[in-house]
Structure formats: structure tokens, C-alpha cells
Amino acid sequence: MTTLRRGARGSEVQELQRLLVKWGYQPGLIDGIFGAKTEKAVLQFQRDHGLKADGIVGPITWRALQSQPQPGYQLYTIQAGDTFYKLSIRFKISLASLVAANPGVDPNRLNIGQQIRIPVPSPEPGLTRAVSGWIPYWVQAQALQSLQKHAELFRSISPFWYHLSASGDVLNFTGAEDSSVLSFAKAHGINVIPLISNEFSSQLVSTVLNDPVIRQRHVMAIVNKVRQMNYAGIDINYENLFVRDREVFVIFVQELKTALSALNKQLVVSVHAKTGPTGFWSGADAHDYVKIGQNADTVRVMGYDYHWQGGPPGSISPADWVDAVLAYAVSAIPRNKIELGIATYGYDWPQGLQAKGVTYSEAVSIANQHNVPIITNAQLGPHYTYSVNGLNHEVWFVDALSFSTILNLVNKYDIRGICMWYLSAEDPKIYDAIEAKF
């Protein structure tokens, strides 16, 4: 970890603030800004743990912070109006534990400036893996509701907010930079790492990447956007690339990583799933896992759409395929950089036609409406068939059971974590599965 001191900013400061809170100290808002409150909390932590009290978070202080907190105490200086009863409410501890921690102190005779000990409760166990979620702009309000209900589980979110132009500019989708999303994430210490899309256009990306002037313009446009909005980083989601652009895409990733590193910002690259170096189609072949993994901070492997809208019906994320995808991914990319993109949605295929996307709740509702049984399958996902006006439909989707099976694979390969595509489509019970598995 980077040595931090007052004035530092970024995701590592947020991690520092989270650790201080876990130990029972009060660094202020988890906002990634190393200000006076954070410095005061660091100094108190250092004093309480016999470290050099300089307010600088170097290797020794980082190690102490990252160790497992033991039940203990923090010192508190009595202020005007303090009583043991008020302090027990403020620090969320029992009055009895506060009295027991301070033998010889008369609760009825507290003096301003007097130091007492505040018991530090054992922290709640946290998640062992990173949980992230993509937020599409077209269901942003619903996705935010999902985030609000389970904020404590999320380390980052990636709103689908930007797309590139042929001139290298970064353009906004409708709803981009929504203040309600940004303010909620900031208040809850959740990193915002927006997504930039090429809208699946091979030629658009090729035009930008193969002209060094336009490519550099694009790099600087991304960096300026990240700086301007104070994002934790950016998620590059350039899909369906030409195979011939495999190497120049890596050059772009390298250039962007260098520029973002100067700002202490993260580079996330989302890649198509494949079970070997080339994959079975051009988009997957064009993503060089090894070289992208060497340069990006996080690589999100999109482990879904095994059966897609334009193809025949079937499982969206069959477990045996995801297993093979992760087996290859960990052979090419450091495990601590890999996040598996997990589906939360479903498809409804009319016979012989392109599928329509459905959410979990829509899929269940359709089955109930037509009074057809849902076939559950932990390995393939739930599915069923129904008929409307003589046209047969086949529906495949994701529930908590099939989602949980994929989480088992995440644990099996010991990767960094997951990113859900997409928030608001999910079975609400997946959050219980995340807590149970992670």
C-alpha cells in the first residue's frame, strides 16, 4: 500500500478510513480525503498501539491496521455535557460495559478534559471478496434502489454513463453523472468507477485506436473526466473488437494505465469470456488476457451470454462453462485482479425469433401468469416454456440457487470478487447467498 499522509486522496485513503472505523476510531466521512479528522484518528490509533505517532500511514501502520482487531479500548476526552449514558448511545455500547471499562471513575463526577476508556466492540465480519455492480442508465432509478438496500455489501459500482466518439471524445449517455447515485456512493464509502462503452461497434474503436493522435486524445479525455468528477477510476468496456486490433488495444490499455496511475486512479477493463487464448469468436480473440492483466488494476471477465439474445435458447451462464472460463482466466491473469461478471437477468425466446431480456421478477411473473412450472437447476439456472397465441416461448433466467453455484466457483478459483450485470434485475435472495459464500 502507498504511504499516506494528510492531503492524500483516493481509493487507498478510503480503505484507510474503513480500517479505522473497523478498529473503532472516527476518521469522519469515508470520502477518500485524508483531512484533519482522519489524521487525528491515525494519531490516536498509533498511540494506542505503541507505534510512532506521526500521523503518517507507512508499512508498519498499514500492517497494524490490517491485522485482526482484538476487543480493546480507545481513549476519549470528556467534553462539556458528556454523561456515561450519552456516551453509551453515541458509541453504540452498553452502559454497563462503559462503567466496567472505567473502574474508579465516578459516572456522576466527570470533569472536562478527563480521559476515560471506551470499549471497542468486536467488528462484524466483513466480506472476503469484492462485490461490484453495473448500473445501466436505462434502469438507473431501480438499480439505485437495489444498491441502497444492500450498500454494506458493495465495494464499488460502475454506472453505464459514457461512450466514445470517433474523434476520441467521451460523451454522456442520458442520466450520466446523476447526483443521487454519486452522493449515495460517497456517503457509504462505495467507489464509483463508471463504464465507457463502444456500443458494440468494432469500427468505432478501431478508428480511435489506430490513429495515435486520436488515441492520445481519447486517453486524455478519459483522464480529464476521472479527474473532474473525482472518480476512483474508469471501466473500459470495449466489446466486439476486430482481431486485428488485439495489439493496439493493449497499447491503449498501457497508455491509459500510465496516465491514470499519475492520479492514483484505477483502471478496470471488462473482457469477453473465453476458455482459451483465442476464444470462439473475434471479440473474445481480440482481448489478450495476459497483456491486459499485466496492465489493468482489475479485469472483469463477463461470464454470461453463453446463450444470447440472437441465438437459440439455453442457459445464460452454465456452471461448467463458467468453471472453464475461470480456469483459463487464472492461468493468464493474477487472481487478485479478476472479478467475474455474473448475470442477474434472463431471456424470453419466442420460437424462431430473437429473445427479449427479462428480470428475475418478470420471469417469475410470466410463469405465474401462464400457470407453468419453473424447472429449477443449480447448474444451468431456472427455465420453463409457455405458449401465447400458438407461439411457443422458452425462458431461461438466474435465481439465487444458480447464482450461488457461480459464487462457489469464485471461491474455488480464489479470485478478487464479482461484478453483477445488472443491478435491479436480480433475485433479492442473491444477497443472502453473497453473505453466506463470501
CATH number, position 56:
3.10.350.10
| Of 48-52, 132-136, 168-172, 209-213, minimum mean pLDDT range | 48-52
Could you give the C-alpha distances from 147 to 153, 257, 399, 417, in angstroms and in order? 9, 28, 18, 17
One domain, residues 279 and 338: yes
Between 161 and 11, name the one with better pLDDT.
161
One domain, residues 268 and 316: yes
Q: Which of 120, 153, 181 is the last residue of a domain?
A: 120
Say if 343 falls within a structural domain. Answer: yes
Specify the pLDDT at position 123.
55
One domain, residues 315 and 262: yes
Q: Which of 120, 145, 166 is the last residue of a domain?
A: 120
One domain, residues 209 and 342: yes
Specify the pLDDT at position 63.
87
Say if 4 falls within a structural domain. Answer: no
One domain, residues 349 and 328: yes
Contact (CB, 8 A) for 270 and 236: yes
One domain, residues 106 and 173: no
Q: Does residue 24 register a pLDDT over 80?
A: no
The residue with cell 464479482 is 418
One domain, residues 88 and 234: no
pLDDT tens digits for range 332-375: 999 999 999 999 999 999 999 999 999 999 999 999 999 999 99
Say if 3 falls within a structural domain. Answer: no
One domain, residues 348 and 399: yes
Domains identified in the chain, total number: 2
Structural domain boundaries, residue 255: 130-437
Dihedral-angle region of residue 103 (phi above 0 means left; psi in -120 to 50 means alpha; beta otherwise): beta
Helices (H), 55-201: 59-66, 84-90, 95-100, 140-149, 179-187
Dihedral-angle region of residue 104 (phi above 0 means left; psi in -120 to 50 means alpha; beta otherwise): left
* Mean pLDDT taken over the chain: 93
Q: Does residue 378 register a pLDDT over 90?
A: yes
One domain, residues 179 and 74: no
Report residue 29's pLDDT band, with 50, 70 and 90 as the boundaries: confident
C-beta neighbour count of 334 within 10 angstroms = 12
Say if 5 falls within a structural domain. Answer: no
Contact (CB, 8 A) for 416 and 130: yes
Q: Does residue 70 register a pLDDT over 60?
A: no
One domain, residues 183 and 34: no
Specify the pLDDT at position 117.
84
Specify the pLDDT at position 265.
95
Q: Which of 120, 144, 176 is the last residue of a domain?
A: 120
Specify the pLDDT at position 183.
95
Specify the pLDDT at position 68.
63
Say if 165 falls within a structural domain. Answer: yes
**Per-residue pLDDT averaged across 70-77, rounded?**
72
One domain, residues 172 and 135: yes
**Per-residue pLDDT averaged across 375-396, rounded?**
97
Instruction: Find, among 240, 315, 235, 298, the residue nearest to 272 by Cα.
Output: 240
pLDDT tens digits for range 31-43: 889 999 999 999 9
pLDDT tens digits for range 103-114: 888 999 999 989
Catalogue the E-assigned strands of 88-172.
115-120, 130-136, 156-164, 170-172
What's 405's domain CATH number?
3.20.20.80
Say if 1 falls within a structural domain. Answer: no
pLDDT tens digits for range 200-252: 999 999 999 999 999 999 999 999 999 999 999 999 999 999 999 999 999 99
Q: How far apart are CA 412 and CA 315, in angstroms?
A: 21
One domain, residues 90 and 163: no
